[in-house]
Amino acid sequence: MSLSSKTPSGRASVKIPAFLALALALLAVLVFSLGVGAVPLTPIQVLAALTGEPTKASHSAIVWDFRLARVLLVCVCGGALGAAGAGFQGLFRNPLADPYIVGASGGAALGATLSVVFAGESGFGVPIGVAGFVGALAAVFIVYTLAETSGYGSVAALLLAGAAFSTMLSAIVSLLLLINDRALQEVFAWLLGGFGGRSWPQLWQALLIAPIGIVALWAMARPLDALATGEDGAQALGLNLRWARFVIIAGASLATAAAVAAGGLIGFVGLIAPHLARPLFGAGHARLIPASMLLGALLLLLADGLARTLLAPIELPVGVFTALLGGPFFLILLRQRGRLA
């Protein structure tokens, strides 16, 4: 009895220092990131501006009006992509699954393209981010409906439908852009992903939607653990597969679409964050989802910092950086671990 009361809630608490360390690292990078830009600020100056006692009056404006919303938005998007990646990898039992695996990227690209093309022609349109958001969710919904009614009724059908539908949508996007070459540059820049010019309105929008998806995924931690045993295994444990697939896809896609709306199509963050999280926090999803979220935020914050500074004052698309850094990193991980788990 004395032994068991020593560790009442058990081993989950073992990871609390690791979570604290990660959260602190994220905060440190955040403060550092706020100092980066045309007017460089030291971390102390940033903290002073944040606490309302700036060393110079202009620092307050730089931090609060120009940088804070964007940097927080980057965190929210990175976190959403990290959690969504962990959710999709769990659902598909596939370490290569990413947030766009069920058609979100193709749908977002088509939505964005349509908004630019039609805005150009009619002078009236929806913002490109909103169009991307709607496109991503619509594509996922169509893929999900096709797969669930296909008779397969399994994640295999989802994978196939997602791949086929996404390719088809990309072809339509290419066609539309060929016909409307004016739209090409704007759409292409958006597709590469980036947070230039984003501020408080985009942050509030993202904060309205992304947490719903992330919390839904976190709530599905035990179903995701059960799915690790395969669909038959999970069903034998009493899991209603249809319900689980729906909630996981809805949660992950909401989080993904929120990130897409704010920053375009940012690759690799959602793929890599769970792979970094598993060796550090274990494979159980109750810890993997929040860990992937924090690591996703950290990764995207670093990539965004690089994108802003490397060729300053020119800002590079952050999606290019996540791919440039993420690709080799992923290959190293692959080599070291011998397998993707």
Partner 1 sequence: MSWLAADHLTLAYNGQPVIHDLSLAVAAGEVLGLIGPNGAGKTTVLRALIGQRAPRTGSLSLNGKNLRELSSLTRAQCIGLVPQGESLAWPLTVEEIVALGRAAHRGWLLPLSTTDRDVIKWALARTHLTELRDRPVDKLSGGERQRTLIARALTQQPSVLLLDEPTANLDIHHQLQVLDLVRELVTKGQLATVLAIHDLTLAARYCDRLVLLHAGRAIACGSPETVLTPDNLRTVFDVQAELYRNPFGQWSLSVQSV
| 290 is a site residue for partner 1 (CB under 8 A) | no
Interatomic CA distance for residues 258 and 254, integer angstroms: 6
Size (the chain), residues:
341
8 Å CB contact between 93 and 229: no
* Smallest gap from residue 301 Cβ to partner 1 (A): 26
Among 235, 315, 324, 329, binds partner 1 (CB under 8 A): 235
Identity of the residue, 67 or 278, whose beta carbon is nearer to partner 1 in the bound complex: 278
**Token couple for 66:** 């120009």
Binding segment toward partner 1, per CB under 8 A, in 9-17, 76-84, 185-193, 290-298: 9-17
Identity of the residue, 37 or 87, whose beta carbon is nearer to partner 1 in the bound complex: 87
Closest-CA residue to 82 (of 206, 268, 251)? 268
| 232 is a site residue for partner 1 (CB under 8 A) | yes
Binding segment toward partner 1, per CB under 8 A, in 7-15, 20-28, 248-256, 295-303: 7-15
Identity of the residue, 48 or 155, whose beta carbon is nearer to partner 1 in the bound complex: 155
**From the centroid of its chain, how far is CA 139?**
17
* Smallest gap from residue 265 Cβ to partner 1 (A): 26
* Smallest gap from residue 269 Cβ to partner 1 (A): 20
By the 10 Å C-beta count (0-12 exposed, 13-18 middle, 19+ buried), 38 is classed as exposed
Among 156, 236, 310, 311, binds partner 1 (CB under 8 A): 236
| 238 is a site residue for partner 1 (CB under 8 A) | yes
7: left (phi over 0), alpha (psi -120 to 50) or beta: beta
**Token couple for 161:** 């439908």
Q: Is cis: bond before 274, omega within 30 of 0?
A: no
230 Cβ contact partners less than 8 Å away, ≥ 6 residues apart: 93
Axis crossing angle, helix 16-35 with helix 68-92, rounded to the nearest 10: 140
Identity of the residue, 62 or 234, whose beta carbon is nearer to partner 1 in the bound complex: 234
Angle at 106 between CA 101 and CA 112, to 5 degrees: 135
| 10 is a site residue for partner 1 (CB under 8 A) | yes
* Smallest gap from residue 134 Cβ to partner 1 (A): 29
8 Å CB contact between 31 and 48: no
Axis crossing angle, helix 104-122 with helix 155-179, rounded to the nearest 10: 30
Kindly state the number of chain residues that form the binding site for partner 1, as judged by CB under 8 A: 31
Binding segment toward partner 1, per CB under 8 A, in 172-180, 191-199, 223-231, 299-307: 223-231
Query: Restricting to residues 35-94, which ones interact with partner 1 according to CB under 8 A?
Result: 90, 93-94
| 112 is a site residue for partner 1 (CB under 8 A) | no
Identity of the residue, 114 or 155, whose beta carbon is nearer to partner 1 in the bound complex: 155
203-222 footprint of partner 1 as x/- string (CB under 8 A): ----------------xx-x
HEC secondary structure over 220-232 = CHHHHHHHCCCHH
Q: Which residues bind partner 1 (CB under 8 A)?
A: 4, 10-11, 14, 90, 93-94, 219-220, 222-223, 225-230, 232-233, 235-240, 244, 278, 282-284, 341
